[in-house]
Structure 1
Amino acid sequence: MPLLGLGTYKLLSPEDVYRAVDAALAAGYRSFDTAAVYQNEADLGRALKELLPKHGLTREDVFITSKLGSEDQGERAMKGALNSLSQLELGYIDLYLIHWPGTQGLAVADQRNPGNRAQSWATLEELHAQGKLKAIGVSNYTPAHMRELMQSCKIPPAVLQVEFHPRLCQTKLRSVCEEYGVCFQAYSSLGKGKLVTDPVVMEVAKNCERTPAQVLLRWAVQQGVPVLPKSSNPDRIKDNARLFDFTLSDTDMDRLSALDCGQKYCRDSKDIV
């Protein structure tokens, strides 16, 4: 799985998806992240089929991630996963995640949530064995959810995808992933845009002659954490890819990590049983 991928959340029109994928392929992106709830799987699949030949690439050159929606958690998991495969029309999905540990329509304390998660995972394991899902994993799981899964799964998750940035260093969760050999992947690396105006981030960026976004993304990849910046702007997509021709100093890395305060900008799954 590449360290850099394009997130497609909020790319809602076929034109936006096509333009973003075209710019990303030109800038060297080879990983694309979507989900059932983004409602753009079909648009992404069509864009890739049209654009891969243009850029001299084949299906095997790109890494596609999608996710099972919480409305399909449990007994509907097979239908949900097969729908993602059908929408994308790419033959297989490189990485398929359970998007959320809860079930749509159930309260966070509902005791059916663990059983639904387990049923969903068993479905993903079945599709993995069939070769339709090359790797399987989870998103937004807490340390407790991870330990629960590891105790019951036949195939361990390849990836955990969660919110991660200097204000949310996720030390405990990263430790759990390291313990179990699970790849820890970041989303919302810019803190929904809040972090690009942080004084420390801006100062580090100025000293590096880089953008705040590049510094935030580099902070993650320099720790071996894959990132999924999302944008519909071709110039920004290109800028976000410039992560591998500079290095942050140990001092700058420490200054950024010192911003950690447990701040979450996205939905929190900590109360889901």
Structure 2
Amino acid sequence: MAEGAEGRPGRAVRLNNGEWMPLLGLGTFRLRGYEEVHRCVDAALGAGYRAFDTAAVYRNEEELGRALRELLPKHGLDRSQVFITSKLGPRDQGLGAGEALGRSLAALDCGYLDLFLVHWPGTQGWEAADLRNPENRRQTWVALEAEHRKGQVRAIGVSNYTSAHLRQLLQECTVPPAVLQVELHPRLPQTELLQLCRESGIHLQAYSSLGTGELLGHPLVQEVARSCQRSPAHVLLRWALEQEVGVIPKSSQPTRITENAQIFDFLLSPEAMEWLGQLADGTHYCWDPNTVT
């Protein structure tokens, strides 16, 4: 596993654009209102998080940007020491994607974006099987490549793309995606996607690592947690890190945010990884993009 930008082994990965990306970030899905966002960002910065993940559809970009501007000095940090990701809303797919990126950047008011992702392979209001989807994805990427060249965003990538979507993009793009963010956990290990990303120099980042919370109570996960004297959340997050997959756990509880950061000082044994591998059954707890043409 890579050594981080601050010299912390295993805490960051170098992307294909040469920039460092922390392997642990704070997810902000469903964090709403400035007070909640401020409280969570404060706890995250104090616990060592240096990456923050938002999206246009989360409707909290402005709150996140404001919280970071106010809290970075408190924690002795500046903008260059945090990694900020946002995502293109599905309604903005197509040649207007560049304007949407500009709106996200204005809302965050953070100078530049470290990473901007296409949130979904389809377009809002279209059927998943709509044959226009591939061409709209192509136009989206052309627009984002233009913004990347302008320097408004340091890296561009995609989210919820399947292997088929990703292969199409790789055949057409000038700037390859730096990151693919997908639902990934022991029940949905995304083995084919992970291998394709490794072969293509793309960093795979997981969301819903805890299976929307349902995996925390799984008997096998709990047994592994007992065996290594860690929490089920630690086990599930560490399972991803063992495969050099980044994680962005979300919580609205400062204590949980702090606890979730404690995943860099232990390893899962090969036996534990094998046990967790028995859970693979293709279960999606969130959205399944395989129906999108």
Which band: TM-score by shorter chain? over 0.9
Q: Deviations over 1:145-166 (max 9, x none)?
A: 0010001000000000000000
State the partner residue of 1:70.
90
Provide the C-alpha distance between the structure 2 equivalents of 1:127 and 1:175, rounded to a whole number of angstroms: 29
State the partner residue of 1:149.
169
State the partner residue of 2:272.
252
Give, in angstroms, the shift of residue 18 of structure 1: 0.3
Give, in angstroms, the shift of residue 115 of structure 1: 1.3
Give the 4+ runs in structure 1 shifted more than 4 A: none
TM-score (norm 2): 0.92
Provide the C-alpha distance between the structure 2 equivalents of 1:208 and 1:136, rounded to a whole number of angstroms: 37
Asked whether 1:115 is paired with 2:135, we answer yes
Asked whether 1:82 is paired with 2:102, we answer yes
**Greater mean alpha carbon deviation, residues 40-49 or residues 249-258:** 249-258
Q: Deviations over 1:14-45 (max 9, x none)?
A: 11100000000000000000000000000000
State the partner residue of 2:207.
187
Q: Per the alignment, in what secondary structure is the counterpart of residue 136 of structure 2? A: helix
Provide the C-alpha distance between the structure 2 equivalents of 1:92 and 1:123, rounded to a whole number of angstroms: 17
Provide the C-alpha distance between the structure 2 equivalents of 1:257 and 1:5, rounded to a whole number of angstroms: 24
Paired residue type of 1:78? G
For structure 2, the residue ranges without an aligned partner over 5 or more in a row are: 1-20
Give, in angstroms, the shift of residue 75 of structure 1: 2.9
State the partner residue of 2:6.
none
Give, in angstroms, the shift of residue 110 of structure 1: 1.1
State the partner residue of 1:162.
182
Q: Per the alignment, in what secondary structure is the counterpart of residue 53 of structure 1? A: coil
State the partner residue of 1:225.
245
State the partner residue of 1:203.
223
Provide the C-alpha distance between the structure 2 equivalents of 1:33 and 1:255, rounded to a whole number of angstroms: 30
Provide the C-alpha distance between the structure 1 equivalents of 2:222 and 2:291, rounded to a whole number of angstroms: 34
Cα RMSD of the aligned pairs, angstroms, is: 0.7
**Greater mean alpha carbon deviation, residues 114-123 or residues 188-197:** 114-123
Give, in angstroms, the shift of residue 76 of structure 1: 2.4
Provide the C-alpha distance between the structure 1 equivalents of 2:168 and 2:87, rounded to a whole number of angstroms: 20
Asked whether 1:18 is paired with 2:38, we answer yes
Q: Per the alignment, in what secondary structure is the counterpart of residue 101 of structure 1? A: coil
Alignment of 1:165-176 (within 5 A): 165-176=185-196
Provide the C-alpha distance between the structure 2 equivalents of 1:25 and 1:185, rounded to a whole number of angstroms: 20
Provide the C-alpha distance between the structure 2 equivalents of 1:30 and 1:271, rounded to a whole number of angstroms: 34
Q: Per the alignment, in what secondary structure is the counterpart of residue 157 of structure 2? A: strand
Kept in 1, the 8 Å contact 2:95–2:142? The answer is no
Asked whether 1:60 is paired with 2:80, we answer yes
State the partner residue of 2:260.
240
Give, in angstroms, the shift of residue 199 of structure 1: 0.4
TM-score (norm 1): 0.99
For structure 1, the residue ranges without an aligned partner over 5 or more in a row are: none
State the partner residue of 2:25.
5
Q: Deviations over 1:135-181 (max 9, x none)?
A: 00000000110010001000000000000000011111111112211
Provide the C-alpha distance between the structure 1 equivalents of 2:88 and 2:34, rounded to a whole number of angstroms: 21
Provide the C-alpha distance between the structure 2 equivalents of 1:190 and 1:148, rounded to a whole number of angstroms: 30
Give identity over the alignment, percent: 60
Paired residue type of 2:252? S
Provide the C-alpha distance between the structure 1 equivalents of 2:211 and 2:48, rounded to a whole number of angstroms: 24
State the partner residue of 1:270.
290
Provide the C-alpha distance between the structure 2 equivalents of 1:257 and 1:32, rounded to a whole number of angstroms: 29
